A and B are shown apart, each in its own frame.
Chain A
Amino acid sequence: DVKVTQSSRYLVKRTGEKVFLECVQDMDHENMFWYRQDPGLGLRLIYFSYDVKMKEKGDIPEGYSVSREKKERFSLILESASTNQTSMYLCASRRPTGTSGGSEQYFGPGTRLTVT
């Protein structure tokens, strides 16, 4: 079974702190993703990495950066946390198949981040 793990289930940080969220997958997937999930807004893509050292901005990249130095690990960085970044953060991975986008994404359990 594919396993996607996230470093913390719950995290509380103060405004202005630098925050690292880590995600690791064990199935040698090329693609990895970071989403945030907010009530009434569904999932929104923050950043996407289609391979090691490759990254693409998603729909809401402002205030975030990412790092993908190894294939299995994809980190989300909040350079200076703000209260409007309080949210559930979900990581996912995927093995791309062809050009139709038909393969599924596998999700981690999520990190609930509270910024006070």
Chain B
Amino acid sequence: GDSVTQMEGPVTLSEEAFLTINCTYTATGYPSLFWYVQYPGEGLQLLLKATKADDKGSNKGFEATYRKETTSFHLEKGSVQVSDSAVYFCALSKGGGSNYKLTFGKGTLLTVNP
């Protein structure tokens, strides 16, 4: 079945450091790919997405490119801030109607120190 593998955390960085969180997927067909973020005490919210190969999603300084050849969707940010401390989830979805399915990775906890 479909699956998402993301790097295990926790990841601890200093403010202004470069961030990469790796995500690879296994899926048949043509999934859409997402990064969701969960700030402490809150539900998940969409950070960015890409719906086809070579698309780049971007938001709040974060970027990820849908690489079909390597089945990857790595999350990057050039300069992290303390406010970026959160859990990040990579996910894929496909299908419509009752066949729709969203599959999550296990999440990566990011802590940014001042």
Contacts and interface: CB of A to CB of B under 8 A. Distances in A.
Contacts of B34: 104
Where chain A touches its partner, the secondary structure class is: loop
Contact of B43 (A31, A48, A109): A109
Contact of B106 (A31, A41, A90, A107): A41
B93 A102 contact: yes
Interface in A26-43: 31, 33, 40-43
B98 A50 contact: yes
A31 B44 contact: no
B100 A50 contact: yes
Contacts of A48: 100
B102 interface: yes
B114 to A, nearest CB: 26
Contact size range, A? 20 to 34
B69 interface: no
Nearest to A88: B43
A100 B93 CA distance: 8
A90 B44 contact: yes
Given A100-B32, A104-B34, A110-B43, A54 B98 contact: yes
Top 9 nearest A-B pairs by Cβ distance? A107-B43, A99-B96, A101-B93, A42-B106, A102-B32, A102-B51, A101-B94, A107-B44, A104-B46
Interface of B: 30-32, 34, 36, 41-46, 49, 51, 89, 93-98, 100-102, 104-107
20 contacts: A42-B89, A42-B104, A42-B106, A43-B44, A50-B98, A56-B98, A90-B44, A92-B44, A100-B32, A100-B51, A101-B32, A101-B101, A102-B32, A102-B49, A102-B51, A102-B93, A104-B49, A107-B36, A109-B43, A110-B43
Given A50-B100, A101-B101, 14 more contacts: A42-B89, A42-B104, A42-B106, A43-B104, A45-B102, A50-B98, A100-B32, A100-B51, A100-B96, A101-B93, A106-B46, A108-B43, A110-B42, A110-B43
